[in-house]
């Protein structure tokens, strides 16, 4: 089944930030494409629960995750080791589509499944040395619309919110991760599932 088609009229909106670039394409995937892909990933991805080690204590992630990519791209952070699973046909096709839209090449993807509104990710930035100082992370949202908050690292009062809808593509580029941090906050009133895929270029392998 061909889940994807070409959208010649789709375009990025440049969200002004000081330091790096932040781009958003609202309709990267059509509603039909996004819905079909959501169902496929929900059923076929090897989702798992995971623990992070923070200040010597283990904390259960408030979401399920999966790590796919090229064979040598093991990802380690906060006491967690993620060995890449082999690309599925759907993930590889989606990777190619994201590469065509962004002009970048990716060799890994981290998937997050937010099972309900209580699942979240706290303030952080993706600045691990494995990705280099200037990096591009392409983030696709499927399923339930969720808030995506961004704030400046030096001036934490400087922040804003984006609602990421199903089928949208958000791209964080260059030194964005070194000047800004982001979160997906808890939204207790929500019951639907959101799947998020962040395509990355891991430059340093084990």
Domain spans of the chain, in order of start? 21-200
The rounded distance, in Å, linking the Cα atoms of 2 and 18 is 39
Q: In this structure, which long-range contacts are made by residues 39-46, counting pairs with CB atoms below 8 Å and at least 24 apart in sequence?
A: 40/3, 40/90, 41/90, 41/111, 41/142, 41/195, 41/197, 42/113, 42/193, 42/195, 44/88, 44/90, 45/88, 45/111, 45/113, 46/85
Residue 56, pLDDT score: 75
Residues of the chain with pLDDT below 70 are 1-9, 55, 204-206
Q: Which residue has the tokens 């609602």?
A: 163
Query: pLDDT at position 3, please?
Result: 66
Whole-structure pTM value: 0.92
- CATH superfamily, region 21-200: Alpha-ketoglutarate-dependent dioxygenase AlkB-like (2.60.120.590)
Q: What is the pLDDT of residue 76?
A: 83
Instruction: Give CA–CA dist 53/81, Å, rounded.
Output: 11
Cα separation, 54 vs 197, whole angstroms: 24
* Residue 155, pLDDT score: 95
Distances (CA, A) of 145 to 67, 97, 142, 156: 22, 22, 8, 25
pLDDT of residue 192: 96
* pLDDT single digits (tens) 37-62: 999 999 999 999 988 777 677 888 89
């Amino acid at each position: 089944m061909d889940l994807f088609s070409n959208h010649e009229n789709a375009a990025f909106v440049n969200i002004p930030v000081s330091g790096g670039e932040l781009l958003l394409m609202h309709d990267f995937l059509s509603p039909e494409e996004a819905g079909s892909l959501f169902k496929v990933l929900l059923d076929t991805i090897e989702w798992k629960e995971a623990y992070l080690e923070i200040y010597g204590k283990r904390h259960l992630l408030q979401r399920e995750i999966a790590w796919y990519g090229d064979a040598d791209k093991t990802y380690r952070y906060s006491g967690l080791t993620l060995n890449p699973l082999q690309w599925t046909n759907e993930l590889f096709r989606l990777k190619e589509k994201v590469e065509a839209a962004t002009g970048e090449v990716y060799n890994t993807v981290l998937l997050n499944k937010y099972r309900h509104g209580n699942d979240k990710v706290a303030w952080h930035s993706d600045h691990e040395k494995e990705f280099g100082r200037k990096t591009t992370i392409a983030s696709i949202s499927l399923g339930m619309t969720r808030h995506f908050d961004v704030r400046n690292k030096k001036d934490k009062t400087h922040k804003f919110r984006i609602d990421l809808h199903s089928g949208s593509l958000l791209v964080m580029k260059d030194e964005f991760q070194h000047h800004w941090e982001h979160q997906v906050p808890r939204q207790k009133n929500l019951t639907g599932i959101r799947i998020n895929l962040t395509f990355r270029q891991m430059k340093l392998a084990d």
